[in-house]
């Protein structure tokens, strides 16, 4: 993808997300992702990073559990909703607007990182995952849930389940494992699950679930 084409795609996607997040309702609900909630319960709260965090449901939940939550997303409308949700729950989330290439954090700073339906384009996915891993401390945990290559058959049956329509944006377990080579894998599975997340993740779908500890 050339630079001009990439910029056009980036602007289109930003417009789509800004429009979705500008609505009164929370696109994916106000409750945290169930897998993330389950995994956070196993950890001692520390500093956690939420890339592509959207309207803030997961970062706000982590903050309510004693974590220092840091998040970013390309959508300014997402930050507005995240700030509102944080205020509703009486917590604080440090939320920046921008893309990964525009935002820098201290290396080996975070104790955990959550990638919840952060579907980066295929030409950027591995580089982004590798860069994000630099921000984790040794022993830090990455928690990931995303739609896999089996998901389109569920989308055909039920469009409300959501997820990327472009197959190249879907992940496989093997791809994710290769993106985090300097990690000890604690869980790496492909599962069919029932989603109940707001307006856009409703019904049965197929996902990758990945948890790993940085060496």
Q: How many CB atoms lie within 10 A of CB 84?
A: 15
Question: 3-state class of 185 per DSSP?
Answer: strand
**Mean pLDDT over the full length of the chain:** 94
Q: What is the pLDDT of residues 126-135, one digit of tens each?
A: 999 999 999 9
Among 72, 56, 76, 71, which residue's Cα sits nearest to residue 15? 76
- What is the pLDDT at residue 12? 61
- What is the pLDDT at residue 9? 47
- What is the pLDDT at residue 14? 76
Q: What is the pLDDT of residues 76-107, one digit of tens each?
A: 999 999 999 999 999 999 999 999 988 989 99
Q: What is the pLDDT of residues 50-69, one digit of tens each?
A: 999 999 999 999 999 999 99
**CB of 48 closer than 8 Å to CB of 112:** yes
Residue with tokens 């309702």: 25
Tokens of 1: 């993808």
Fold of domain 3-214: Rossmann fold (3.40.50)
Q: What is the pLDDT of residues 133-148, one digit of tens each?
A: 999 999 999 999 999 9
- What is the pLDDT at residue 11? 59
Within its chain, how far is the Cα of 152 from the centroid?
19
Tokens of 66: 């004693």
Q: What is the band of 185 on the pLDDT scale with cuts at 50, 70, 90?
A: very high
pTM value?
0.94
- What is the pLDDT at residue 8? 42
- What is the pLDDT at residue 5? 43
**CB of 206 closer than 8 Å to CB of 130:** no
């Amino acid at each position: 993808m050339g630079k001009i084409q990439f910029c056009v795609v980036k602007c289109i996607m930003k417009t789509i997300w800004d429009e979705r997040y500008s609505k009164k309702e929370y696109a994916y609900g106000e409750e945290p992702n169930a897998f993330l909630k389950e995994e956070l319960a196993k950890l001692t709260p520390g500093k956690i990073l939420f890339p592509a965090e959207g309207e803030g449901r997961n970062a706000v939940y982590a903050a309510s559990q004693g974590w220092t939550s840091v998040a970013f997303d390309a959508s300014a409308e997402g930050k507005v909703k995240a700030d509102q949700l944080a205020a509703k729950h009486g917590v604080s989330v440090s939320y920046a607007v921008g893309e990964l290439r525009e935002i820098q954090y201290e290396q080996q700073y975070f104790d955990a990182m959550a990638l919840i339906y952060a579907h980066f384009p295929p030409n950027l996915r591995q580089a982004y995952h590798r860069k994000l891993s630099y921000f984790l401390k040794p022993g830090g945990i990455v928690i990931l849930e995303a739609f896999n290559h089996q998901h389109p058959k569920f989308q055909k049956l039920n469009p409300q389940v959501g997820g990327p329509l472009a197959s190249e944006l879907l992940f496989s377990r093997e791809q994710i494992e290769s993106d985090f080579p300097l990690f000890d894998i604690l869980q790496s599975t492909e599962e069919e699950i029932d989603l109940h997340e707001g307006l856009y993740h409703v019904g049965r779908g197929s996902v990758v679930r990945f948890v790993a500890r940085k060496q």
